[in-house]
Amino acid sequence: MKIANKKNILFCIFTFLLSFIIVNFIEYLNYPSQINVIEGKRRILNIRFPFKINNLNSNKTISISNLDDKDSNQKNEIEIIPLKKGKAHLQINLFGLVPVKKLEVDVLPKLKVIPGGHSIGVKLKTRGVLIVGLEEIVGVDKQKHNPGQDAGLKIGDNILEIEGEKVKNAEHVIEIINKYKDKNINIKVKRNKRIMNFTIKPVKSILYNDYKIGLWVKDSTAGVGTLTFYEPNTKIYGALGHAISDVETGQILSVGNGEIVKSRVVSIKQGKRGHAGEIRGIFLETTEPLGKLDRNTSYGIYGKLYKEPVRTKYNRPLEIGLQNEIKLGKAKILTTTDDNKIKEYDIEIEKINRQKRMGSKSMIIRITDKELLRKTGGIVQGMSGSPIIQNGKIIGAVTHVFVNDPTKGYGIFIEWMLKESGIENYIDRELAKTG
């Protein structure tokens, strides 16, 4: 009887240990493959026995240690101590032998930025022209033709060159086509990330008495958004937190050239359930723009300032709050509304999506500030890019609104915007010059 009891006890212990190992094994498998830390700022990982973590690098980018002193209640925790900028690799092993997960640790340089909140106008001229429509042409033969569609061109294609000549704008397309008349011409386009070539034969329109290829194209756009941050030494800025896309095609517009300028809010259309609101603004001092627009990405727009905008109440650079530092609960946003002053408004962070890869839907936020709700009804178009502040650190920016509940929306982690901005690469180049 005693032997049976011992077997039962051993079986229970074995089952418990096996369950414990399996649960933790799955947890570690789901760890993000990349961890960002900042120079001088420690990061804690909870690694429980029988799992161990090993530092695979000997370049002294980081060191790791166990928090196992008697005064600590966190004996399962491993402390990552970043020593210098660079990359390091860690390995989680079962019993120190069986590999479970590799982690890449990216040590970011100490970086502080000035938060924005300024209403800005964005002017963008595309690289080449964007196809936004296809149409039939009635030729001099009184037949209907659709040269663009027949050649295989699609809405959303970006025309870069015609017969080897770089396309400047929509008028330039017309000029080139009528130079070659009814001869076959070669058109180079960018479709998503692919460069493609098409041959197309223009048709002489009986209505307009000139040559057409049956395309509607766009070469520029403009709108209002919010400045998220700028770095005072490099003058690199980030804004919007999402891409500028063409309304008709949904395609991200490639940048030929562009600028950001001061904007003044003239009216606000309140957001209501099922209908997105909007901040309407006018551009100011277009002859003295704030900065150059260099990049339009899925995670915001970026460039360099010509001059610093007026600083907010945060007139000194703020530390960056990485995603592991963000907490559920109260936070603030900085934005500009109808009084044209940058103000701080209360929000609640309701969900944090711990992300392995860059994404613009990093957090779900809710506007709780009564004044802002009265003015806008919640998050509206034009507020995209409003910086999110928590515990004195800039942690992200507003990106999208929930159309069915305009009090809620998404925010992007500031670390993704900083990576996309190129500030780190710029700092590296400057250090190389002086080194």
| Per-residue pLDDT tens over the stretch 348-390 | 999 999 887 888 899 999 999 999 999 999 999 999 999 999 9
Query: HEC profile for the chain?
Result: CHHHHHHHHHHHHHHHHHHHHHHHHHHHHCCCCEEEEECCCCEEEECCCCEEEEECCCCCCEEEEECCCCCCCCCCEEEEEECCCEEEEEEEEECCCEEEEEEEEEEECCCEEEECCCEEEEEEEEEEEEEEEECCEEECCCCEECHHHHHCCCCCCEEEEECCEECCCHHHHHHHHHHHCCCCEEEEEEECCEEEEEEECCEEECCCCCEECCEEEEEEEEEEEEEEEECCCCCEEEECCCCCECCCCCCECCEEEEEEEEEEEEEEECCECCECCEEEEEEECCCCCCEEEEEEECCEEEEEECCCCCCCCCCCCEEECCHHHCCCEEEEEEEECCCCCEEEEEEEEEEECCCCCCCCCCEEEEECCHHHHHHHCCCCECCCCCEEEECCEEEEEEEEEECCEEEEEEEEEHHHHHHHHCHHHHHHHHHHHHC
d(CA 114, CA 342): 13
Mean pLDDT computed over 415-419: 90
Task: Tell me the pLDDT band of 293, cut-offs 50, 70 and 90.
Answer: very high
**Number of residues that make up the chain:** 435
Q: What percent of the chain has pLDDT over 90?
A: 36
The reported pTM is 0.74
pLDDT at position 238 is: 96
Q: What contacts 415, CB < 8 A, 6 or more positions away? A: 36, 108, 320, 322, 323
Q: Which of 119, 362, 384, 386 is catalytic?
A: 384
The band of 11, judged by pLDDT with boundaries at 50, 70 and 90, is: low
pLDDT tens for 210-224 read 999 988 888 888 889
Given the residues 369, 386, 400, 421, select the one marked as catalytic: 369
Q: Is 369 part of the annotated catalytic residue set? A: yes
- Give the phi and the psi of residue 236 in degrees, each rounded to 5: -75, 135
Q: Kindly state the average pLDDT of the residues 274-289.
A: 81
Question: Which residues fall within 8 angstroms of residue 138, CB to CB, at 6 or more apart?
Answer: 144, 145, 205, 206, 207
pLDDT in tens, 80-105: 778 777 888 877 777 767 777 787 88
Told to judge if 145 belongs to the known catalytic residues of this protein, a careful annotator would answer no
Tokens coding 74: 């966190």
pLDDT digits (tens, 9 = 90+) for 170-226: 899 999 999 988 899 999 999 888 899 999 999 998 888 899 998 888 888 888 999
What integer pLDDT is reported at residue 303 of this predicted model? 95
Closest CA to 406 of 428, 383, 426: 383
Q: Are 21 and 94 in contact (CB under 8 A)?
A: yes
Two structure tokens written together for 328: 């559920």
Closest CA relative to residue 120, chosen from 33, 230, 212, 6? 230
Residue 114, pLDDT > 50, answer: yes
- The residue type of 95 is F
- Mean of pLDDT over the chain: 83
Q: Is 71 a catalytic residue?
A: no
Q: What is the largest CA-CA distance in the chain?
A: 105
Considering only residues 238 and 101, tell me which one the structure prediction assigns the higher pLDDT: 238
pLDDT of residue 435: 37
Winning range, highest mean pLDDT, from 267-271, 321-325, 379-383: 379-383
Residue with the two structure tokens 């397309």: 173
Please pick, among 118, 119, 219, 242, the residue that the annotation labels catalytic.
242
